[in-house]
Structure 1
C-alpha cells in the first residue's frame, strides 16, 4: 500500500472517530448538523455515516415528523447494541453496569461484598458479564470494560497504587479481568471518572472549568476539569480532596484531631447519626430530611466544613461549576440555596462570580457511566479497529 493510501485511510479513520464521538457524547444529530459541527464537506460526512452504519455503530432514523420544515435529513443515532461495561468496587458492594453508546445504562446490578479483593471482583464481574451475554445483552457487541477504583490509580498503566479502604496496594486488576472476561480493561480513579461522566453527560455539560467531588462509602475523591480537559497530574493522582486538611473554623466542629476532610465529612458519621447501619443515598436523603435534632446537627456540621473547603477550591481554581456526587450531593440538597450561598461567602467575590453549584445529575450511575466511557475510548479513537 502506498504512503498516500495509508495517509488517506488514517485521515478517514480519524474522521470516523470524530463523527462517532460527536453522536456518542453530544447526542443524535442529522447529517447536516454533523457537516456544520465537524467542518467536513457533505459528501465526506455521507460516506463516513454510511461506513458507521455498515459497521453497526450508528443507525439512521427518520426525524420527528412534527418538526419537519422542508425535507430534513435522517438523524444519526448511536447504536444501543454497542456496549461497554462499567465496574465500581466499593467497601460494601461491587456495582456493575452495561452502558450503551450515548451514555444510557442498559443493565445494572449491585452485588453486596465486604471489602472485596481483586479475585472476588474479577469473579463477580466475569460471572455477570457472561450472564448478560447470554441473556440481556445477547446480540450486543461488548467493546471493553472500565473499572472505577476508590484510590490512587497510575495513569500510565492502570496499576492501583493504593486503595486503602479496599486493602489494595500496587494491585493489577486489568490483566486478570481481561483474562476472565475476554475484554480489554481500562482502570481509573472513581472520582475522576465521575467527573468525566458529569462533564460529558450530566450537570457540567455546558462547563469547561469544573471541580467535582465524589462522596462514597470509602471516602471523598475528586476530579478537576480545566479548559475542558480532565487534569490527572504527573502520575494521575490529582484530585484527592478527601486527603486535604479539613477547613474547620470552630474547634467544636472537629471530631478527629489532625484529621483530613474525609475524616470529618463522612458518610458513616451521617448514617450513625440517623441510626442507620447502611443505606443507599436515597434513604440517606430521607433521613437527613427528617426533623431529628441529632441528624440535623451532624449534617449542619459537615456542611460547614465542606462549604469552607469548596470556598478554598474556588479561590485557587476559579471554576465555573462545582458538582457534588454521592452523599456530598445529598448533604447539599438538604438546603441547596443556603449551602451554595455559604460556599460563595467563603470565597473571594470575584472568584465566585457566575459560579454554579449542582448535585450530580447522573445520580448513582455516574461512576459506571464514567468507567464505561473510558472503555469506549479505544473504539472512538479507531471505530474500524
Structure 2
C-alpha cells in the first residue's frame, strides 16, 4: 500500500473510532449531532455510521420525537449485543459480569470463595461462566473480550500479575491463562486504576481533568491518578499504589500495625472486626456502622481511621494538586459519615493553595466501578480500531 493509501486508511480508522467512542461514552446521538461533534460532513458521517453498523457495533433507531424542528435525524446507538466480560478477583469472591458497550451491566454473578483462589482456577471459573451465559443470558451476544481488574501490581505490556499480595499471586501469567481457557482476547489491569478510568469517563470525576482516586476493598487500598484529563500509569503500569505508602500518624496511640503501611491502618478488616462481622459489602458495612455509631469501640476505630485517611489525602493533595479526590469502596463509607469534616481535616494539613478548591466525592458507580473499568479495558482495542471486530 502506498503512503497515501496508509494515510487515508488511518484517517478513516480514526474517524470510525471517534464516532464509536462518542456514542459509547455519550449515549445515542443523532447523525446531525455527530456531524457537529466531529466536524465531518453529512455524507461522510452516513458512510461511517453504515460501516459501524455493518460491523455490528452500532444500530440506528427512530428519531427522537421531541425534536420536531427540521428534518428528523436517525439516532445512532451502540448495539446492545456487544459486550465484554469483566472480572474482579478478590480474597473473598470472584465477581464476573457482562458489560455492554453502553457501559451498562447486562448480567453479573458473584462467586464467594472460602479460600484464596489460584490464577488457574480463576481462568477455569471464567471459562465456565462464559459457557453458561452463552447457553442462556448471552446467547445472542457478541463478546469482544475479557477485562480483569486485579488487586495488585500488573505489568501493563503483557498483563503479568507481578504481585497481588492478598491473593498470594506472584508473576502470574493471567492473560495467557484466561486466553487459553476462553479463546478470547484478555486485558489485565490494576483494579483501582481501572476504577479511576470508569469514574473519570462515567462517574464522579466526569469532566474533571485533575483527579486522585482511592479505592478501598477487601484486599486493601489502591488508587489512580488523572492529570490533564489523562490517566497516569507510570513506567511499568504500577502508579497509584497509595495503600503501600508509609502512613503519617500523629499520635502513637493511633498506630495498630508496627511498621505497617497505609492499608494496614485504614482497613475494611479492622472495621469488620470492631463490628463483630466476618464479611459485608459496602452497603452492609455502612448500615452496620450507622447502627453501631454509639458504641465507643466502633466510634473510636472510625475516628482513628478517618484521621489517618485525612493525612494520607493531604499528602496526595500537596504532591498532585487535584481538583477532586474520589473515594470508592469502604473509603467512601468512611467519608460519607461526614464528608465536610473530612475535607476540612485534609485542607488543614495540606498547603492552603493546594487545598482551597478541593472537593472530596464518593464514587458514583458504586460496586460496579471496577467491573465497568475492566470492561472499558476490554473495549479499548475496538474503540481505537473498530475494524478489529
* Same fold, judged at TM 0.5 (above): yes
> Are 1:56 and 2:59 matched, yes or no?
no
- Of 359, 365, 368, which residue of structure 1 is paired with 2:368? 365
Say which is worse superposed, 223-232 or 68-77, in terms of deviation.
68-77
5+ long unaligned stretches in structure 2: none
5+ long unaligned stretches in structure 1: none
Say which is worse superposed, 39-48 or 214-223, in terms of deviation.
39-48
Structure-2 residue corresponding to 1:139: 140
Indicate the SS of the match to 1:384: helix
What aligned pairs does 1:26-175 form with structure 2 within 5 A after superposition?
Answer: 26-113=26-113, 114-175=115-176
Distance 2:266 2:332 in 1: 12
Distance 1:5 1:237 in 2: 38
* Superposition deviation, residue 120 in structure 1: 1.2
What aligned pairs does 1:223-242 form with structure 2 within 5 A after superposition?
Answer: 223-242=224-243
Structure-2 residue corresponding to 1:312: 315
TM-score when scaled to structure 2? 0.96
Distance 2:308 2:7 in 1: 55
Q: Map Cα deviations across residues 187-235 of structure 1 (whole Å, 9 max, x no partner).
A: 1111100101101111111111110001010100110111111111111
Aligned residues: 385
Distance 2:2 2:246 in 1: 59
Q: Give the root-mean-square deviation of aligned CA atoms.
A: 1.3
C-alpha contact 1:26 1:200 (8 A) present in aligned 2: no
Q: Map Cα deviations across residues 162-185 of structure 1 (whole Å, 9 max, x no partner).
A: 111111111101111111111100
Structure-1 residue corresponding to 2:18: 18
Indicate the SS of the match to 2:116: coil
Structure-2 residue corresponding to 1:219: 220
Indicate the SS of the match to 1:235: coil
Distance 1:132 1:151 in 2: 28
C-alpha contact 1:213 1:221 (8 A) present in aligned 2: yes
* Superposition deviation, residue 67 in structure 1: 4.3
Distance 2:209 2:23 in 1: 19
Cα pair distance change 1:63/1:355, threshold 3 Å: farther
Say which is worse superposed, 109-118 or 71-80, in terms of deviation.
71-80
Q: Map Cα deviations across residues 91-139 of structure 1 (whole Å, 9 max, x no partner).
A: 1110111000121111111101122101111111111111111110111
Distance 1:102 1:288 in 2: 35
C-alpha contact 2:98 2:107 (8 A) present in aligned 1: yes
C-alpha contact 1:288 1:334 (8 A) present in aligned 2: no
> Are 1:348 and 2:351 matched, yes or no?
yes
Distance 1:149 1:352 in 2: 31
Structure-2 residue corresponding to 1:378: 381
* Superposition deviation, residue 293 in structure 1: 2.4
* Superposition deviation, residue 259 in structure 1: 1.4
Indicate the SS of the match to 1:66: coil
